Chains A and B, each alone.
Chain A
Amino acid sequence: MHVSTPSVLTVTELTTRIRSALEKTFPETWVEGEVSNLRKPSSGHLYFTLKDQTSQIRVVLFRGIAQHLRFDVEDGQQVIVRGRLTVYDPRGEYQIILESLEPKGIGVLQIAFEQLYAKFEQEGLFEQERKRQLPLLPKVVGLVTSTSGAAIHDMLTIFQRRCPVIHIVISPVQVQGDRASVQIAEAIRALNEEGRVEVIVVGRGGGSMEDLWCFNEELVVRAIVESKIPVVSAVGHETDFTLADFAADHRSPTPSAAAEAVSPVLGELIEMVMIHHNRLVRAIQGEVRLLRHRVMGARRAIPDPLLWLSRSVQHVDDLDRRLRRALQTLPAMLRHQVLILQSEVNRLSPRSKIQQKLVLMSQWFQRMTKGIQGTLVIKQHHIVSKSEALQNLSPLSILSRGYSILETVHDGHVIRHTQDVNPGDTLRARVASGQIYCVVEKVEPGP
């Protein structure tokens, strides 16, 4: 039996053989699995492990490819990778060096969109408070779009139809492809610098997600956010949403809608102004009418000026007359002295004292008369009763009882004694009903 010596290899020789065997057998391999143990060192290369339920394999993604990925690789992502199998000699480990990497299930653009959306939202770029109002009637509108295609045609037609006084400045750009995002961002800045533009429309007509992709790119989003002028996005159709839409001050579903959003209907504006104009005129007319009424009313309230004037003139005449008379009567010096004297007299005058006394007197007088009147009343009663008594004592009433009084005729002397008469005297006898004249025949003295 021939026994051959076993050939002994060095580690390096063996590793080299294994590597070439692997590389020959698996030149280009597609593998799907879950990303785990992702490492992103500063070199820019990516390292991770691709695994499924039972196995795992090391993966390397060199910087040159990693930086062109449109989305960020994250642990847990299901991915499909393409690469070649090789051996990392220093460790004796086999690994796949990737040439491409895509998310599994959803498209790469979709995941990129979501990641960028999350990032910008985190930064607050989509906040509602950032949105500015669009001018009602912009004098100048800037358009960032392609000059070929339906979008520009549609927009210009709408501007012409709705509001043909709006000035348009087009900043032409490519709206798809690698250069698009740079151009769009630059165009937005240029229109900001132009000076007259009051609102910018950024957009294009419909297309695939790939076609519209530039409107999701960071350059474009940032240019929209940084624009000093309000920006309206108008990308694709109703159902297309781009990050530019979220960043813009106003999202229009289509370029045509955007043109309508920034252009008022001229006729409506003219009508609005005319309505205000008419209200203005009506208001001032009303005010003037009101004032006229007030003036008329006030005029009626003023007395006839002629009458008033003649009265005043009369009064003035009267005063004048009196003044003249006074001046004529009193020479100036005298008048002065008179005034002094008059005040002196006024000062010394007992008039006020007299006045006081008069008042007192009148009071006393009143009290007095009142007292007197009282007394009088009493006295009157007294007198009445006395006079009745007197009445009874009166000789006349005695006469009525049948007596008579004799008196001399010549002096009415009442005869009381016989010696008061001589025969032949004529006497008067008073009786109740009258007088009787009689002659004395004989005088006989009583016993």
Chain B
Amino acid sequence: MAAVKFEEALARLETIVTELETGNLSLNDSLKIFEEGIKLSKTCLKMLDDADRKVELMVQDKEGKKQLQAFTLDHDSDRGT
């Protein structure tokens, strides 16, 4: 999935729905944007179902490079180590 933003996808979906509901398009164009709309709604729903969700802590290693490590609330107050 490209770096498409949710609200952009949703806004495009809205435009498509409105266009389709107005019904001023040729059958060909209607079908084309209908397909795009279906794809967009799937993309949106997929964004709302991200199984890879994590909470990460940004820490510095010895060389001063930033690294991410998993974070849970039990982690508490041992930052900087």
Contacts and interface: CB of A to CB of B under 8 A. Distances in A.
Interface of A: 135-137, 139, 146-148, 152-153, 156, 164-172, 187, 190-191, 193-194, 266, 269-270, 272-274, 276-277, 279-280, 283-284, 286-287, 290-291
A165 B55 CA distance: 10
Contacts of A194: 58, 66
B71 A170 contact: yes
Contacts of B23: 283, 286-287, 290
Interface of B: 5-7, 10, 13-14, 16-17, 20-21, 23, 27, 30-31, 34, 37-38, 41, 44-45, 47-50, 52-59, 66, 68, 71, 73, 75-77, 79-80
Nearest to B22: A283
B75 to A, nearest CB: 6
Contacts of B41: 273-274, 276-277, 280
A165 B77 contact: no
A153 B75 CA distance: 11
Given A136-B7, A148-B77, A277 B38 contact: yes
18 contacts: A136-B7, A137-B5, A137-B48, A146-B79, A164-B53, A165-B49, A166-B53, A168-B71, A172-B58, A172-B80, A190-B66, A194-B66, A266-B48, A270-B48, A273-B41, A280-B13, A280-B41, A283-B20
A89 to B, nearest CB: 52
Contact of B17 (A136, A137, A166, A279): A279
A425 B23 CA distance: 125
Contacts of A170: 55-58, 71
Contact of A273 (B31, B48, B57, B76): B48
Contacts of A187: 58
Contact of B30 (A164, A169, A279, A284): A284
B58 A168 contact: no
Contacts of B13: 273, 276, 280
B14 A276 contact: yes
B53 A165 contact: yes
B17 A283 contact: yes
A280 B17 contact: yes
B57 A165 contact: no
A194 B47 CA distance: 20
Contacts of A135: 5-7
Contacts of B47: 137, 139, 165
A272 B40 CA distance: 13
A147 B54 contact: no
Contacts of B30: 284, 287
